[in-house]
A and B are shown apart, each in its own frame.
Chain A
Amino acid sequence: AQTVTQSQPEMSVQEAETVTLSCTYDTSESDYYLFWYKQPPSRQMILVIRQEAYKQQNATENRFSVNFQKAAKSFSLKISDSQLGDAAMYFCVNQGGSEKLVFGKGTKLTVNP
């Protein structure tokens, strides 16, 4: 069975600084995807970044980047130059051979001005 673990229930960062959110996962699939989704107070789920497991290069999307360590089954999210609008719940998500997503429990990120 697939599992996703986010060990940091809450994190905080000063505006303009960098923060890293941790995620580990377990899967028996050889072909899978990993995602980070953001959920602001509006409740809307927003895709932040995606990583295909077969790609060795870490995905980057503007101020967001990941550190994907396949052997260690680790998938962390780095947010650079943090902005007030980055404050949200962040979910690490795994999608394996089926189309089902498996979510971690989330990390609540606070951005301090």
Chain B
Amino acid sequence: NAGVTQTPKFQVLKTGQSMTLQCAQDMNHNSMYWYRQDPGMGLRLIYYSASEGTTDKGEVPNGYNVSRLNKREFSLRLESAAPSQTSVYFCASSRQGIYEQYFGPGTRLTVT
């Protein structure tokens, strides 16, 4: 089992460019999440998907869109990147309900 995988691991964008971060899990989990981690902060929730076909905003959704492509995959899209979106992005998954979340290795994104 690979667990939760994310691509790419690193990315540099220019202001205004767009990109999609990919996430996949092979644990048959219903729930998936996208977080960002900024220096000196814990993780903050961007969007989450409680099940295939549903998505909901988290604490910091502005500037992002998500797609729950199927049960395994949950992507995060930046339509027009801004320097304020420079961060490390984590994808996570869990069984539906209150259970521990399993995290991917993260994507370090820099927007210049």
Contact = CB atoms under 8 A, between A and B. Distances in A.
B94 A99 contact: yes
Interface string A91-102: 101011101110
A106 B42 contact: yes
Contacts of A99: 31, 48, 50, 94, 96-98
Interface in B76-95: 88, 90, 92, 94
Q: Which of A4, A47, A97, A100 has the most CB of B within 10 A?
A: A100
A83 B48 CA distance: 35
A43 to B, nearest CB: 5
Interface residue tally on A, bucketed by range: 20 to 34
The binding surface of chain A is classed by DSSP as loop
Contact of A103 (B43, B50, B98, B100): B43
B85 to A, nearest CB: 18
A28 interface: no
A44 B40 contact: no
A44 B43 contact: no
Interface string A29-50: 0011101000000111101001
A78 interface: no
A99 B31 CA distance: 8
Given A91-B43, A103-B43, A105-B42, 13 more contacts: A33-B98, A33-B100, A35-B100, A43-B105, A50-B100, A91-B42, A99-B31, A100-B58, A104-B42, A105-B40, A106-B40, A106-B41, A106-B42
The 10 tightest CB contacts between A and B, nearest first, are: A103-B42, A45-B103, A43-B106, A103-B43, A47-B100, A91-B42, A33-B98, A105-B42, A104-B42, A95-B98
16 contacts: A4-B42, A32-B98, A35-B100, A42-B105, A44-B105, A45-B90, A50-B100, A96-B98, A97-B98, A99-B94, A99-B97, A99-B98, A100-B45, A101-B45, A101-B101, A105-B41
